A and B are shown apart, each in its own frame.
Chain A
C-alpha cells in the first residue's frame, strides 16, 4: 500500500497520519455514543487544538534544527501573566486599546524569554535541553512573581473574544465564504502544481489521484465549516428568534494565519532554509558560512512569540491570568510535533503534519474527558502515545534508509 500511495503522489506519512486520526475519531465516537462528534464538542475541540497547534508549528522549526524547547508551557504562563497584569493592574481592562497593547507586550516578553534561551544555546554552547529545562523552572517562577501568585481578572471584553468563547467566532456567512475561498485555493494549488510539472516534463501523478486529493481536502474544509455552523451560538439570536450558528472560532483563524506564515517561512525564506540545513548537517551549515548562531537565536525568539500567542488565547478563554496555565503544554506540543512527522534527528518536519499531530493529541485528551477518564489516567495514556510516536518515527526512518 505504501508504494501504491507514493505512486499516486500522496505523502505516505501524512496520509497515514490522517487515516490514524480518522480511526481515533471513529473509536471515540463509538465509545462516547456519538457525543464526541457532536457540533458542540467538535467546536470545542477546534479551539482546544489551537493552543497546542500554534506552539507545535514553532516546535517543528526547533526540532528540525536539532534543538528542543521544554519551557513553552512556562513561557505561556509568564506571557499570560504579563498580559493580564497590563490589562487588570496597569492600564485597566477597559482602557481603550489596552488589550492591544497588552498583546504586544506579551509577545515582546515571549521573544525576550526566547532570546535568553537562544543566547545561552547559540552563543554560550549550553545544550538546549539544559537551558530550556532551566527555563521551565525559571519562567514558571517568574510568572508567579508577576502578581505574587494571585489570579488577575477580569480582562477586556474585546479581548475575551479572541479565545473563541461568547462572540468569539465569525458566524456562518463569513465562515462559508472563508471555506469556499480555502477550497478554491486548494484546487488552484493542485492545478498550478500540475501545470509546473508539465512544463518541466517532470513525473506526473495520475489525474484521478490529484482530483481525489483536491476532493478530500475540500470535503474536509467544508465539513469543518458545516459542523461549526451547526453549533448554535448561545450569545446570538437571529432575526426570527432562533439561534445563529457559531461558525469558525477566532483561535482557528489565528492558527490558520500562523500556519500560513510559517509555511512560507519554512519554504521560501533564508531563515527557514538555514534551519533545515542546520538540522540536516550542522557541520555543513558552518562550513557553508551560514550565520548559525543568529539562526538559533531567532529560532528561540520565534518559539517565544508563538508561546505568547498561545497565552493570549488561553487567558482570553479563562478571562483571567493565572500562573498555572500551560502546565504540561511542552509535552503536548512536543508530542504533537513528533506525531506530525518531525524527526528528532533533525532536518525534516512539516507544519500541516504538526497541526494534525496536535489534533490527534487533543482528540484523545478531549475524548477521554468525555469518557470520564481521570486526569491521572489521561496523563499515563498521553505519555504512552508519545513513546509510541517516537518509536514509530524510528521505525519509519530506518525503513526509509534501507
Chain B
C-alpha cells in the first residue's frame, strides 16, 4: 500500500541553524503517527514545511506516490493536507463561519460572499463535532478553548482532508475537552484519514497513536510502533536520542 504521505531526507535551515536535518517519516490511511521531541527538536518546522508555510531546502515530499512541492499553504491544502496549528490560526474578531471558510469562501453567482450558506454549512459540520455548539454569530474571542479547537478541526474536516496535521491540539484544553478531541481523532482514523499528531503528553500519545516518530536536534531518532515499546523507551529516545533495544 502506498503511503498517504512520505517525507524523504527533508532538510530546512534558517541562517546557520539546521532546524530539520534529513528527516524521514511516513503516514498511511487510517493511521495516527505521533511526532515527538523537545522544544526545538524540529517538529514544528517539519510540519510547517508539510503545510506549505516554508519551502524545504532539500528532500522530497511524496503525496500518494507522487512528488509534491508546496509553494504556499493553499497548495498544501489543494493536495489534501490540512493543518491545525498550535495557535489555531483563527481570526479572533470573526465568527465561526468566517474562520471556517477563510481563504475558501463560498460565493454567490455574483461573486459576493454567500454568508447564509456558509453559516448553514458551518453549523452542520460544527454541531456534528460538538452538538452543544450552535451559536454561529459569536466571534472567536468570545468562545471557550474547546469551541475554538472545534472551529479549527471543523475547518480541516469540511474540505475533506485526507491528511491531517494536529500541532498540540490538547495543550490549552481541560480534561473534558481533551477527551472530545481524542474521540474526534478516533472517529477520523476510522474514516481512513491519516493524522500526524504533535504532542508533549506521552499518555495522550499512547492513547491514540499507532506509531511514533521521535526527533532530536532536527534529525529523526527512530520511528517505532507504540504497541512494541514502553513509555520509558520513548522517553529515552526523546531525552537521550537512544534507539530502543540498543543499550
Residues in A250-289 with C-beta less than 8 Å from chain B:
264, 267-270, 273, 276-277, 279-281, 283-289
Q: Is B229 part of the binding interface, using a Cβ–Cβ cutoff of 8 Å?
A: no
CA A112 – CA B56 in complex, angstroms? 36
Asked if A289 meets B105 with Cβ closer than 8 Å, knowing A202-B137, A276-B94, the reply is no
Residue numbers in B under 8 Å from A114 (CB-CB): none
Q: Are A289 and B72 in touch, CB under 8 angstroms?
A: yes
- Residue of chain A at shortest CB distance from B73: A289
Q: Is B91 part of the binding interface, using a Cβ–Cβ cutoff of 8 Å?
A: yes
Name B102's contact: one of A264, A267, A268, A288 (CB within 8 Å): A288
Asked if A270 meets B113 with Cβ closer than 8 Å, knowing A287-B73, A288-B73, the reply is yes
Residues in B41-88 with C-beta less than 8 Å from chain A:
51-53, 72-74, 77, 83, 85, 87-88
Q: Is B92 part of the binding interface, using a Cβ–Cβ cutoff of 8 Å?
A: yes
Residue numbers in B under 8 Å from A277 (CB-CB): 91, 94, 98, 102
Q: Is B115 part of the binding interface, using a Cβ–Cβ cutoff of 8 Å?
A: yes
Asked if A289 meets B91 with Cβ closer than 8 Å, knowing A273-B113, A277-B102, the reply is no
Q: Is B202 part of the binding interface, using a Cβ–Cβ cutoff of 8 Å?
A: no
Q: Are A276 and B105 in touch, CB under 8 angstroms?
A: no
Q: Are B93 and A348 in touch, CB under 8 angstroms?
A: yes
Q: Is A340 part of the binding interface, using a Cβ–Cβ cutoff of 8 Å?
A: no
Name A281's contact: one of B77, B90, B113 (CB within 8 Å): B90
Q: Is B89 part of the binding interface, using a Cβ–Cβ cutoff of 8 Å?
A: yes
Asked if A290 meets B93 with Cβ closer than 8 Å, knowing A202-B137, A268-B113, A283-B87, the reply is no
Chain B facing A: main interface SS: loop
Q: Is B112 part of the binding interface, using a Cβ–Cβ cutoff of 8 Å?
A: yes
- Residue of chain A at shortest CB distance from B123: A200
Q: Is B245 part of the binding interface, using a Cβ–Cβ cutoff of 8 Å?
A: no
1/0 per residue, CB under 8 A from B, across A285-297: the answer is: 1111110000000
CA A202 – CA B136 in complex, angstroms? 10
Asked if A287 meets B93 with Cβ closer than 8 Å, knowing A273-B105, A273-B113, the reply is no
Asked if A287 meets B53 with Cβ closer than 8 Å, knowing A202-B137, A347-B92, the reply is yes
Q: Are A288 and B113 in touch, CB under 8 angstroms?
A: no
Q: Are B89 and A290 in touch, CB under 8 angstroms?
A: no
CA A284 – CA B83 in complex, angstroms? 12
CA A269 – CA B98 in complex, angstroms? 12
Q: Please give the number of chain B residues whose Cβ is less than 8 angstroms from any Cβ of chain A in the complex.
A: 28
A342 CB, min distance to chain B CBs, angstroms: 12
Q: Are A273 and B98 in touch, CB under 8 angstroms?
A: yes
Q: Are A268 and B94 in touch, CB under 8 angstroms?
A: no
Q: Is B103 part of the binding interface, using a Cβ–Cβ cutoff of 8 Å?
A: yes
Asked if A284 meets B91 with Cβ closer than 8 Å, knowing A273-B105, A289-B74, the reply is yes
A168 CB, min distance to chain B CBs, angstroms: 33
1/0 per residue, CB under 8 A from A, across B99-130: the answer is: 10011010100011101000000000000000
A287 CB, min distance to chain B CBs, angstroms: 4
Residue numbers in A under 8 Å from B107 (CB-CB): 270
CA A287 – CA B102 in complex, angstroms? 10
Name B92's contact: one of A273, A280, A288 (CB within 8 Å): A280
- Residue of chain A at shortest CB distance from B98: A273
Name B103's contact: one of A264, A268, A283, A288 (CB within 8 Å): A288
Name A268's contact: one of B51, B77, B89, B112 (CB within 8 Å): B112
B68 CB, min distance to chain A CBs, angstroms: 15
A268 CB, min distance to chain B CBs, angstroms: 4
Residue numbers in B under 8 Å from A264 (CB-CB): 112
Residue numbers in B under 8 Å from A276 (CB-CB): 91, 93-94
CA A267 – CA B115 in complex, angstroms? 9
Residues in A101-157 with C-beta less than 8 Å from chain B:
none
Residue numbers in A under 8 Å from B98 (CB-CB): 273, 277
- Residue of chain B at shortest CB distance from A285: B91
- Residue of chain A at shortest CB distance from B119: A200
Q: Are A289 and B94 in touch, CB under 8 angstroms?
A: no
CA A348 – CA B95 in complex, angstroms? 13
A34 CB, min distance to chain B CBs, angstroms: 43
B174 CB, min distance to chain A CBs, angstroms: 21
- Residue of chain B at shortest CB distance from A348: B93
CA A154 – CA B113 in complex, angstroms? 45
Asked if A281 meets B89 with Cβ closer than 8 Å, knowing A288-B73, A289-B72, A289-B103, the reply is yes
CA A286 – CA B76 in complex, angstroms? 13
- Residue of chain B at shortest CB distance from A284: B89
- Residue of chain A at shortest CB distance from B114: A268
B104 CB, min distance to chain A CBs, angstroms: 8
- Residue of chain A at shortest CB distance from B103: A288
A340 CB, min distance to chain B CBs, angstroms: 17
Residue numbers in A under 8 Å from B93 (CB-CB): 276, 279-281, 347-348
Asked if A288 meets B89 with Cβ closer than 8 Å, knowing A264-B112, A268-B113, the reply is yes
Name A270's contact: one of B53, B77, B99, B105 (CB within 8 Å): B105
- Residue of chain A at shortest CB distance from B52: A289
B35 CB, min distance to chain A CBs, angstroms: 18
A197 CB, min distance to chain B CBs, angstroms: 10
- Residue of chain B at shortest CB distance from A264: B112
Given contacts A280-B91, A281-B89, A287-B73, 10 further A-B pairs with CB under 8 A are A268-B112, A268-B115, A269-B112, A276-B93, A280-B94, A284-B99, A286-B53, A288-B73, A288-B102, A289-B72
3 smallest CB-CB distances across A and B, nearest first, come from A289-B74, A280-B93, A347-B93
What would 22 A/B residue contacts be, using CB atoms closer than 8 Å?
A: A268-B112, A268-B113, A269-B113, A270-B105, A273-B94, A273-B98, A277-B102, A279-B93, A280-B94, A281-B92, A284-B87, A284-B88, A284-B102, A287-B51, A287-B83, A287-B87, A288-B89, A289-B52, A289-B72, A289-B77, A290-B102, A347-B93
